[in-house]
A and B are shown apart, each in its own frame.
Chain A
Amino acid sequence: DADVTQTPRNRITKTGKRIMLECSQTKGHDRMYWYRQDPGLGLQLIYYSFDVKDINKGEISDGYSVSRQAQAKFSLSLESAIPNQTALYFCATSDGTAYNEQFFGPGTRLTVL
């Protein structure tokens, strides 16, 4: 079984709809991250959390919110989706070691019409 899972894997929605992307991990890591991938731009950090009570904004947090429901669960919400939020979204986890290797989920492809 995968260590980092994301649901759904694909989602098509309409402008203005509220969308939630979910991430679960079985690695026992405290740190979790949400990234967005756009062609030619690499990965950009949306939000990150170092533990259940710690939530931090990343580079591109506008239009997004997150919830850390438990150590193993970190969800990303788009309160009112817009077409330029069409992208591939990745969740990642890491432990607290110095080099902080991050482990990625398989991604969620979101299309906003």
Chain B
Amino acid sequence: AQSVTQLDSQVPVFEEAPVELRCNYSSSVSVYLFWYVQYPNQGLQLLLKYLSGSTLVKGINGFEAEFNKSQTSFHLRKPSVHISDTAEYFCAVRLMDSSYKLIFGSGTRLLVRP
């Protein structure tokens, strides 16, 4: 069965510090990979996606993620966070099959402190 694991439920970090949010997945078929962000009292917004090609993908708001096939990981990084980055971040995979379903991780709450 396919699954997505976000090991850190909460990551506290000081403003202007770097951050990495970890995501690992398990799948017997090829997948597309996504990171979504959920700001307080809002729906989910796509941050970035990996479909094919370069394993380093850049998204909105200065975030980037690197796909590592051998480690089945897709960690999200930002070199310098802002208070406004405080939100919940979800990693998701879509199987390359006919179902077109997204499988979400449990989420990581990023808490940026001044």
**Chain A residues touching B, range:** 20 to 34
Main secondary structure of the interface of A (DSSP, over half): strand
Which one of B36, B41, B101, B107 contacts A48 once the chains associate, using CB atoms below 8 Å? B101
Q: Mark B52-95, 1 if CB is under 8 A from A, else 0.
A: 00000000000000000000000000000000000000100010
**Cβ–Cβ < 8 Å partners of A31 in chain B:** 100
Binds B, one of A11-19, A69-77, A102-110: A102-110
> Does B114 interact with chain A (Cβ within 8 Å)?
no
Residues of A bordering B, CB below 8 Å: 4, 31, 40-45, 48, 50, 58, 90, 92, 94, 98-107
Q: How many A-B residue pairs have CB under 8 A?
A: 52
Q: Is B7 an interface residue (CB 8 A)?
A: no
Interface residues of B (CB under 8 A from A): 4, 6, 9, 32, 34, 36, 41-46, 49, 51, 90, 94, 100-102, 104-107
The residue of chain A having its C-beta at the shortest distance from the C-beta of B33 within the complex is: A99
B46: chain A residues at CB < 8 Å are 101-103
Please, how many angstroms separate the alpha-carbon atoms of A106 and B51 in the complex?
26
Which one of B43, B51, B101, B104 contacts A42 once the chains associate, using CB atoms below 8 Å?
B104
Give the nearest-CB partner of B94 in chain A. A100
Tell me which residues across on chain A come within 8 A of B34, comparing CB atoms: 101
